[in-house]
A and B are shown apart, each in its own frame.
Chain A
Amino acid sequence: MKEEQPNMEYIDQLSGNDASFKQKFLLILKEEFPLEQKEYLESLRMKDGGRAAQIVHKLKHKFNILGLHQGYGLAVDYEEALNKGDFGLNPAFLEVLSRIEVYLKTI
């Protein structure tokens, strides 16, 4: 099955003819995503499930914004698991983060 890729469909829909919004939004995304990614990695290092669940909650919204619906589903399950201290879905989650990281460098 083909891996889903981040896209700008939702942002384009919101922007309409407002190019300045798209530009502004991308700046926010490029600024906010690496911070949240870093915070997630830090919570992982500390083995802090509660904190990791909180940051996964934030990141999953970004998955949705970027059209990563399977990634969103994964994040929902992972957030729940983290609240029980289960980090098992970390590799798959890291993979989605990595895809976003690459994508944000290309736009």
Chain B
Amino acid sequence: MNCIIVDDEAAARAIVAQLCSNVPDLEVIEEFPSAIEAIKFLNEQPVDVVFLDIHMPGFTGIDFIKTLKEAPGIVLTTSDKEFAIEAYEYESIVDYLVKPISPERFDKCIQKVRNSINKAQVSDQHREKSGLGEDLYINIDRRLIKLKFDEILFIEAKGDYIDIKTDKENYRVHTTLKKIKEKLPTEQFLQIHRSFIINFTKIIDIEDNSVLIEKNVIPISRSNRPELMRRLNLL
């Protein structure tokens, strides 16, 4: 793993660098006293982890996170505990360290970083293996429209067509449910009825033989019900 350290205090950078030096497979490739310099660097060279001070004059750590298009794993370092809640609003935040950082707490942080990198690798491998990206192109009136899988609520068969219902729109496409099913990631989509494939992550609730997704009540067929129940994280 490699990392950079961003902090306007030289003493704080030295401490994080020292903590990193005790991790055999972690290399500090650069240190920066300002977020702007770090962004320029990251545009040229991606890294696995950024140790980032939140409270810097001018361009703060939070500004830094908002600016990055593809953020690496970020570990926030700060003297203020109260930033923690705001910090976790950002997906790229792996951990939050309050200064002065103890070696024990830093070890736990490194474990979190490892887990996060492993998860990302597994997800990438899965995507590569399945040949699927994060989106799907559909042909509407000779235009190819990109739909992100996350936007799709459910898909309904309508004779020779299918209706793809998203958060914002309803798209009618000339194809079959069977064909589109092959293009969808199986961990996210599930056929629950002869005429319906749902985005599993969008379920609000399940009652008897129907699923609620937004305001849409979708029937569950008897033969598909066991698979749906198997997938649920039931308490």
Contacts and interface: CB of A to CB of B under 8 A. Distances in A.
Given A64-B100, A65-B100, A21 B9 contact: no
B11 A32 contact: yes
Given A61-B99, A65-B100, A28 B79 contact: no
A54 B100 CA distance: 18
> In the complex, which of the residues B11, B18, B99, B102 has the most CB atoms of chain A within 10 Å of its own CB atom?
B11
A81 to B, nearest CB: 15
A42 to B, nearest CB: 14
B103 interface: yes
A60 B8 CA distance: 14
Contact of A62 (B11, B21, B55): B11
B131 interface: no
Interface in B3-33: 8-12, 14-15, 18-19, 21-22
A57 B10 CA distance: 14
B57 interface: yes
Contacts of A92: none
Given A14-B15, A28-B11, A32-B9, 5 more contacts: A10-B100, A21-B18, A28-B14, A61-B11, A61-B99
Interface string B97-108: 001101100000
Nearest to A11: B15
6 contacts: A14-B15, A14-B19, A25-B11, A32-B9, A61-B12, A65-B99
Contacts of B10: 28, 31-32
A10 B57 CA distance: 26
A82 B9 CA distance: 21
A41 interface: no
A29 B11 contact: yes
Given A32-B10, A62-B11, A18 B18 contact: yes
B14 A24 contact: yes
A13 interface: yes
Contact of A13 (B21, B55, B57, B103): B103
Top 10 closest pairs, chain A to chain B, by CB: A64-B100, A28-B10, A61-B79, A28-B11, A21-B18, A61-B99, A32-B10, A14-B18, A25-B14, A28-B14
Contacts of B79: 57, 60-61, 64
A35 to B, nearest CB: 10
A58 B100 contact: no
A59 B22 CA distance: 26
Interface string A25-38: 10011011000000
A16 B22 CA distance: 10
Contacts of B15: 14, 25, 65
Interface in A50-85: 54, 57-58, 60-62, 64-65
Nearest to B53: A61
Interface string A3-18: 0000000100111101
Contacts of B55: 57
A103 to B, nearest CB: 15
Contacts of B57: 54
A61 B99 CA distance: 7
